[in-house]
Amino acid sequence: MFHIMKHGHYISRFGSKPGLKCIGMHENGIIFNNNPALWKEIRPFFTKENAIVLKIQNYFDAWQALLLKPDIFFKFSWLYKKYEKSARDLKEAIEILIEQKRQKLSIVEKLDDNMDFASQLIFAQSRGELTGENVNQCVLEMLIAAPDTLSVTVFFMLVLIAEHPQVEKAMMKEIQNVLSDREIQSDDMPKLKVVENFILESMRYQPVVDLVMRKALQDDVIDGYPVKKGTNIILNIGRMHRLEFFPKPNEFSLENFEKSVPYRYFQPFGFGPRGCVGKFIAMVMMKAILVTLLRRCSIRTVKGKGLNNIPTNNDLSLHPNENQPLLEMIFIPRCNMEKS
Ligand code: HEM
């Protein structure tokens, strides 16, 4: 697993070509861009800046539904047309936003204050490094890659907090020690060790992305096994996280991160040249969200609605089935708790 994730000759994923074309991901954007040269041009833009929040659910559904469909599906299915429309709708909405950004950039006096992820892409297009479609797709992919993974991860974390009051208590103690009554700042991040271990253990125990994909771009031999160029490989990182490298692999326990874990056995963000570009941002955001929320509220599950009976779907990512009425939680404001 480590070998495949680490090496440059696996910087490609696989998926149905017509499916990827339909949603604009074939040799475009970054996530399923299987043109390594172009992907290398585009990827650095993702490491620089932030995310925009938009409703992307229809596109996301199309992505999950289409990716591994057989080619025949794309010739006859009415569903194909529905998904194609979802992709077009989102792209059009993004094109309007990019155009507004372009207008803004053309009139601002000081560029520095306006240099963000989208601006970098727009400038790359004017230098001829990217096409307009690349720019659109990159903005769109940032919308897909960032908010959903992050929000579902935080959702699972809240359920885990509710189910483990002693962990909540330990985090509250640390937050109080580190921050006292002031707001969280970037210097505080490395000091919040219990919160960090909780985040890591949550991603190990209840990952949102448990499978990563690679395509071998050249022949290789791994531990004596020949891997032919063109082989599609699925790496089950969720399974890897439940192996004997952790003291209590099948239990949710902060003990699993008390000693440092060899990073080759724990990779919730994937790893190597095609690992998650947002992992550092994600860690900071998760810490800030948890600290802010925990200071305000204590969390409980509604009776009988714990992690084990939350209905989940595992398409390209593992997420709760939002059509089910089992996702409720109780947030008790801490000021009320102190009074009672
Ligand atoms: C808890 C939150 C997150 C989790 C668990 C997560 C997980 C992952 C995983 C497992 C991959 C595949 C890596 C591989 O194949 O080795 C991935 C890719 C990616 N992630 Fe994240 N991610 C998260 C948040 C974010 C955020 C906040 C951003 C953007 C700011 C982001 C942007 C991306 C992008 C663009 C890719 C594709 C990289 C490429 O194909 O070269 N992710 N993420």
Q: Where are the domains of the chain?
A: 2-339
Q: What homologous superfamily does CATH list for 2-339? A: Cytochrome P450 (1.10.630.10)
CA–CA distance, 232 with 220 (Å, rounded to integer): 13
HSE value, Cβ hemisphere, 13 Å, CA-based, for 259: 5
Q: Are 25 and 31 in contact (CB under 8 A)?
A: yes
Q: For ligand 1, is residue 246 a contact (CB within 6 Å)? A: no
Cα 182 to ligand 1 centre (Å)? 31
Please give the full DSSP string across 47-116, using - where no structure is assigned: TT--------HHHHHHHHHHTT--TTHHHH-HHHHHHHHHHHHHHHHHHHHHHHHHHHHHH-S-SGGG-S
Cα 34 to ligand 1 centre (Å)? 16
Cα 67 to ligand 1 centre (Å)? 17
The pLDDT tens digits along the chain (340 residues) read 778 888 888 888 888 888 888 777 788 888 888 888 888 877 766 654 443 444 467 777 777 777 777 777 777 777 788 888 888 888 888 898 899 999 988 888 777 777 888 999 999 999 999 999 999 999 988 888 887 889 899 999 999 999 999 999 999 999 999 998 888 898 999 999 999 999 999 999 999 998 999 999 999 999 999 999 999 999 999 999 998 889 999 999 999 999 888 778 899 999 899 999 999 999 999 999 999 999 999 998 887 677 887 888 777 778 887 776 666 788 899 876 655 4
Q: For ligand 1, is residue 277 a contact (CB within 6 Å)? A: yes
Task: Identify the CA nearest to 1 among candidates 181, 165, 233.
Answer: 233
Q: Are 136 and 98 in contact (CB under 8 A)?
A: yes
Nearest CA residue ID for atom 18, ligand 1: 276
What is the reported pTM?
0.81
